[in-house]
Structure 1
Amino acid sequence: MSRSRPLPPGGPGGRNVLITGGAGFIGANLADHLAAAGHGVTVYDALMRPGVEANLAWLEARHRDRLTAVIGDIRDADRLAACVARADVVFHFAAQVAVTTSLVTPLEDFAINLGGTLTLLEALRARRVPLIFASTNKVYGNLTDLPLTATNDAYLPADPALRRWGISEARPLDFHTPYGCSKGGADQYVLDYARSFGIPTAVMRMSCIYGPRQIGTEDQGWVAHFLISALAGRPISIFGDGMQVRDILHVSDAVTAYVAAWTRIEAIAGQAFNLGGGPDNAVSLHQVLAYIERLVGRPIDRHFSDWRAGDQRYYVSDTRRAASILGLPAPMPWRRGVAELAASLAQPQLGPGALLSGAENPVPPLMGAAE
């Protein structure tokens, strides 16, 4: 089912871009960027995640002449093939995104993440259309072999080199949980289709991405979830002890990386890159919450629960290879990015009103400032 007029040409120098999962957080930001740059964009999305309809409406309002919305499942081979037939490049974000959901419905997780990716690859094979795939740091497993030391609010690697640079693409793959297996299997299929069939593909193994248009929940999108809850005065559940560390990356930097991968796709075909904020943007849950408390000007009520399956105590991307090969600039400092996201969420006209509609307390003014 199409929601708008037939796909327009990309314009002078433009291309026809297909984004699966294009109404989701990263997909919508990428679609906005590419449509603004003069490309014709097809957003292919099943609209299964609550709230993504608002992202699609936002895109249609901004780019009606360059946007086509196709409401379809990644497992629908015929509908997907029809979209691939008119695409010059595909960015693949459509996925089941939560480890917790994969443990409840592993067959559906497999069918969407691995089966859907293979269906897409087969549609691409006949035309040799480039594909950039959104993978995950979960392909490296639980990382329980890394010796860690605990500070008062964060885990740090005992190895100074790992603390300085993070985890590189040379790290052996080790799939944990059905989600890790389905995304990891898809990751490997995408790379192998470059080797076996000559399709120019690349894989982005993402750490934690955050920013505008993110509908954060306890299961996925934790930075936005923390901010939305704090602004609404709701308590926050922490799984584990809160000292787990991630390198967080603003979505604008992720979009830059995906576009850079596309422009270099022939040179990087068959390669995977770790994509995150790197050591300079490595923060624990406690550290992010402390900064959010500063921004909103009041303490946050925390509730602690047991660790969840597959949760890494420490993951920070070694971003040197991606920065060098893709020509990426230094990422946005995390305090600035979190402050900007908080400011946008505190303004109902920018879209968070629906997310905050159940709040018992009004959104307070922001007290802190970005770096």
Structure 2
Amino acid sequence: MSRDDLSDSRPVLVTGGAGFIGCNIANALAERGHEVLVYDALSRPGVEKNLAWLKERHGEQVQAIVADVRDEDSLARAAREAQAVFHMAAQVAVTTSMVDPREDFEINIRGTLNLLDAIRLKGDGTPVIFASTNKVYGDLGDIDFRLEGERYCAQDPAVARAGIAETRPLDFHTPYGCSKGAADQYVLDYARSFGMRTAVLRMSCIYGLRQMGTEDQGWVAHFLIRALEGKPITLYGDGCQVRDILDVSNAVEAYLKAWERIDRVKGRAFNLGGGPANAVSLRELLAHISALLGRELDVHYSDWRAGDQRYFVADTNAIRHALGLSPAVPWKEGVALLAEWLRESRRLPRETVQVPAVDSGEVAHA
């Protein structure tokens, strides 16, 4: 993406553009002056509100196609118009993939292949940026961890210091891991085999404004919603599992810069997360939420879920250097801002939600 791209009247296609990350990308593109085409089946509860929000903010600058990525002809027509594509549409939950692995396959693999082939046959070098997942690395069962207080820590000093790098061998677990992993590899191979301008971002846990969190996906927002509503929260496993969480504003910056620098990063996959400085266990997150609300939370425990990683922290050095990313929002600040947005958007009774001031000394690189 260059300054000249604003003279290109063709829209930028965002599949899954009414979803959490997709609508934030669509909003950022529209704010930069681009025409945006949102392609979304609106199958996830609540996402129609995100589409309405986009239309309210940007009017005719944002157009929508309500359709499924499994509809090959409809997707090809949308892709034919696009100057660039952010492919965010997916079946996003491990639990759902265990219930209906065939649908998971159809959406995540066939849907991605439909898009890639539409762009390949179009033949004009349209960039495709694909939303992948850290689940492509499996459960990391060969890495030794130790329990320190309320979190797991890697025994390997290099992993503890920097996190999991892109050099980590792929190891697909669960149907979701297989479908997203296969799609990830198709996107990379279409760059290798057909010279397409594609890139892959393997995301850790992204959270932030406009997230409609559920128990199966979007757990940071889910915990906050349950806490704000005074409802019980279930932790699967012991709650000491660690994730590096990243505010959606930082994720959006990474996607847009991947497009901007697509000729430098085409054919590459990058880990995208909060990195070691934004690594937090589920228990630590709940303790922070409890402090924000000024009361104890109702927390229950259940069995571990299939394919759950006790620890995942992304090594973000490659993406930070390749894309020149801004410092990540410190997780405590970001979670507090999300708590306040959720309270306001759901019209919940006001509680004391303390939004901490930004301490520049705590800012971590994404």
Q: TM-score range by the shorter chain?
A: over 0.9
1:283 aligned onto 2:280? yes
Root mean square deviation, CA, Å: 1.2
**Per-residue deviation, 1:344:** 1.3
Question: In structure 2, which of residues 180, 186, 189 is the aligned counterpart of residue 189 of structure 1?
Answer: 186
Match of 1:65 in 2: 60
Q: Is 2:86–2:128's contact at 8 Å kept on the other side of the alignment?
A: yes
CA distance in 1, matches of 2:207, 2:354: 21
Residue 229 to residue 79, structure 1, CA distance change in 2 (3 Å): same
Structure 1 gaps of 5+ residues are 1-9, 357-361
Q: CA deviation at 1:368?
A: 5.7
Secondary structure of 1:60's match?
helix
Report the Cα distance in structure 2 between the residues aligned to 1:140 and 1:367, rounded to whole angstroms: 36
Question: Any stretches of 5+ residues in structure 2 without a counterpart?
Answer: 359-366
Give the secondary-structure state (helix, strand or coil) at the position aligned to 1:65: helix
Partners of 2:354 and 2:42 in 1: CA distance: 36
Q: Which letter maps to 1:81?
A: A
Distance of 1:126 and 1:241 partners within structure 2: 49
Residue 51 of structure 1, CA deviation: 0.4
2:361 maps to none
CA distance, structure 2, for counterparts of residue 310 and residue 32 of structure 1 = 33
Name which of 330, 346, 353 aligns with 1:366: 353
**Closer, same or farther in 2 for the Cα pair 1:195/1:113, shift >3 Å?**
same
- In the TM superposition, what whole-angstrom CA distance separates every residue of 1:18-37 from its partner, at most 9, and x where no partner exists? 00000000000000000010
Partner of 2:306: 309
Counting only pairs closer than 5 Å after superposition, residues 5-20 of structure 1 correspond to structure 2 as: 12=7, 16-20=11-15
Give the corresponding residue for 1:42: 37
8 Å CA contact 1:211–1:337 kept in 2: the answer is: yes
Which whole-Å CA distance do the structure 2 matches of 1:253 and 1:307 have between them? 30
CA displacement, residues 53-94 of structure 1 (integer Å, 9 cap, x when unaligned): 000000000011211010000010111111111100000010
The match for 2:21 is 26
Deviation at 1:370, TM superposition (A): 4.6
Please report the TM-score for the alignment, with normalisation by the length of structure 2: 0.94
Structure ranking higher in helix proportion: 2
- How far residue 12 of structure 1 moved from its aligned partner, in angstroms, is 3.9
Residue 204 of structure 2, aligned match among 200, 203, 207: 207
Question: C-alpha deviations, 1:290-312, integer Å up to 9, x for none?
Answer: 00001001000101000000100
- TM-score with structure 1 setting the length: 0.93
Query: 2: CA distance between counterparts of 1:26 and 1:146?
Result: 30
CA positional deviation for 1:15: 5.2
- What is the CA–CA distance in structure 2 between the aligned matches of 1:286 and 1:15, rounded to whole Å? 46
Secondary structure of the residue aligned to 2:300 is: strand
Identical amino acids, percent of aligned pairs: 61
Contact 2:109 2:180 in 1 (8 A): yes
SS of residue paired to 2:353: coil
Aligned pairs for 1:162-201 within 5 A = 162-201=159-198
**1:344 aligned residue (327, 341, 345):** 341
Q: Which residue of 2 aligns with 1:332?
A: 329
Contact persistence 1:231–1:363 (CA under 8 A): no
In structure 2, the partner of 1:322 is 319
Task: Give the direction of change, closer, same or farther, for the CA distance of 1:370–1:225 in structure 2 (3 Å limit).
Answer: farther
SS of 2:325's equivalent?
Answer: coil
- What is the identity, as a one-letter code, of the residue corresponding to 2:138? G
Q: Verify the 8 A CA contact 1:247 1:276 in the aligned structure 2.
A: yes
One-letter amino acid matched to 1:307: W
How many matched pairs? 352
| Counterpart residue number, 2:84 | 89
Partners in 1 of 2:357 and 2:16 — Cα distance?
A: 31
Aligned match of 1:7: none
The answer to whether the 8 Å contact 1:296/1:368 transfers is: no
Secondary structure of 2:328's counterpart equals: coil
- Cα distance per residue 1:218-238 (max 9 Å; x no partner): 100010011111111111010
